[in-house]
Amino acid sequence: MNNEKAAAKDRITEGKKAITEGKTALGIELGSTRIKGVLIDFKGHVLAVGIYDWENSFVDNIWTYGLEEIHTGVRECYSSLRKAVEDTYGIVLQNIGAMGVSAMMHGYMALDKEGRQIAPFQTWRNTNTQKAADELTELFDFNIPLRWSVAHLYQRILDGEEHVKNLDYVSTLSGYIHWKLTGKRVIGIGDASGMFPIDSEACGYDVCMADKFDKLIEPYGYSWKLRDIFPEVLTAGEQAGTLTDEGAAFLDETGSLKPGIRLCPPEGDAGTGMTATNSVAPRTGNVSAGTSTFAMVVLEKKLSKVYREIDMVTTPTGFPCAMSHANNGTSDLNAWVSLFGEFAEMMGIKAGTGELFEKLYTRSLEGDKDCGGLLAYGYYSGENITMINEGRLAFLRTAESRFNLANFMRVHLYTSLGAVKLGLDILMDEEQVKVDRIMGHGGFFKTKGVGQRYLAAAAGAPVTVMDTASEGGAWGIALLAAYLADKTVGERLEDYLETRIFRELSGETVIPDERDTAGFHTFMERYKAGLSVEKAAIEAMDW
What tens digit of pLDDT does each residue of 420-470 get? 999 999 998 999 998 888 998 878 998 989 999 999 999 888 899 887 666
Could you give the CA distance from residue 225 to residue 235 in angstroms, rounded to a whole number?
A: 23
| pTM, two decimal places | 0.84
| Shared-domain flag, residues 424 and 325 | yes
**Whether the Cβ atoms of residue 311 and residue 145 lie closer than 8 Å to each other:** yes
| Shared-domain flag, residues 286 and 394 | no
| Shared-domain flag, residues 424 and 503 | yes
Residue type, 84: A
**Whether the Cβ atoms of residue 419 and residue 412 lie closer than 8 Å to each other:** no
What tens digit of pLDDT does each residue of 273-323 get? 899 989 998 988 999 888 888 899 999 888 999 998 899 999 999 999 998
- Looking at residue 446, its pLDDT comes to 87
| Shared-domain flag, residues 489 and 506 | yes
- Give the number of other Cβ atoms within 10 Å of residue 202's Cβ: 11
Could you give the CA distance from residue 466 to residue 523 in angstroms, rounded to a whole number?
A: 28
Three-state secondary structure call for residue 475: helix
Using alpha carbons only, how large is the chain's radius of gyration in Å?
A: 23
| Shared-domain flag, residues 431 and 493 | yes
Which run of H or E residues covers position 262?
Answer: strand 262-263
| Shared-domain flag, residues 324 and 432 | yes
Regions in the chain scoring below 50 on pLDDT: none
Which run of H or E residues covers position 199?
Answer: strand 198-199
Could you give the CA distance from residue 172 to residue 148 in angstroms, rounded to a whole number?
A: 10
Q: How far is CA 293 from the centre of its chain?
A: 8
**9 assigned to some structural domain:** no
- Give the number of other Cβ atoms within 10 Å of residue 181's Cβ: 27
**70 assigned to some structural domain:** no
**296 assigned to some structural domain:** yes
Residue type, 94: Q
| Shared-domain flag, residues 459 and 498 | yes
Could you give the CA distance from residue 270 to residue 476 in angstroms, rounded to a whole number?
A: 10
CATH number for the domain that contains residue 317: 3.30.420.40
**Whether the Cβ atoms of residue 26 and residue 258 lie closer than 8 Å to each other:** no
Could you give the CA distance from residue 454 to residue 415 in angstroms, rounded to a whole number?
A: 10
- Give the number of other Cβ atoms within 10 Å of residue 259's Cβ: 15
**Whether the Cβ atoms of residue 35 and residue 28 lie closer than 8 Å to each other:** yes
Residue type, 1: M
Task: Report the residue count for the chain.
Answer: 543
| Shared-domain flag, residues 343 and 474 | no
Q: What are phi and psi of 28, to 5 degrees?
A: -120, 125
The DSSP 8-state label assigned to residue 366 in this structure reads G
| Shared-domain flag, residues 323 and 428 | yes
The CA-based angle 37-38-44, given to 5 degrees, is 160
**Whether the Cβ atoms of residue 149 and residue 194 lie closer than 8 Å to each other:** yes
* DSSP letters for 150-165: HHHHHHHHHTT-GGGG
| Shared-domain flag, residues 315 and 426 | yes
- Looking at residue 469, its pLDDT comes to 62
- Looking at residue 472, its pLDDT comes to 78
Could you give the CA distance from residue 473 to residue 469 in angstroms, rounded to a whole number?
A: 9
Domain span at residue 386?
Answer: 332-415+515-540
Residue type, 522: T
Q: What are phi and psi of 220, to 5 degrees?
A: -80, -15
**208 assigned to some structural domain:** no
Could you give the CA distance from residue 395 to residue 398 in angstroms, rounded to a whole number?
A: 11
Residue from 100, 122, 89 nearest 11 by CA? 89
Strand spans (E) along 316-453:
320-326, 375-378, 393-396, 437-441
For strand 204-205 and strand 198-199, is the pairing parallel, antiparallel, or unpaired? Answer: antiparallel
**Whether the Cβ atoms of residue 245 and residue 170 lie closer than 8 Å to each other:** no
Exposed / middle / buried, residue 526 (Cβ in 10 Å: 0-12, 13-18, 19+): middle
**161 assigned to some structural domain:** no
Total domain count, the chain? 2
Contacts of 416 (CB under 8 A, 6+ apart): 289, 293, 328, 329, 330, 333, 378, 444
**486 assigned to some structural domain:** yes
- Looking at residue 505, its pLDDT comes to 75
**90 assigned to some structural domain:** no
| Shared-domain flag, residues 353 and 499 | no
Could you give the CA distance from residue 79 to residue 94 in angstroms, rounded to a whole number?
A: 13
| Shared-domain flag, residues 312 and 378 | no
Could you give the CA distance from residue 257 to residue 329 in angstroms, rounded to a whole number?
A: 37
What are the residue ranges of helices labelled H in 367-425? 405-415, 418-425
**163 assigned to some structural domain:** no
Contacts of 222 (CB under 8 A, 6+ apart): 164, 165, 167
From residue 15, how far is each of 20, 95, 113, 331, 348 by CA, in Å?
A: 9, 13, 43, 36, 42
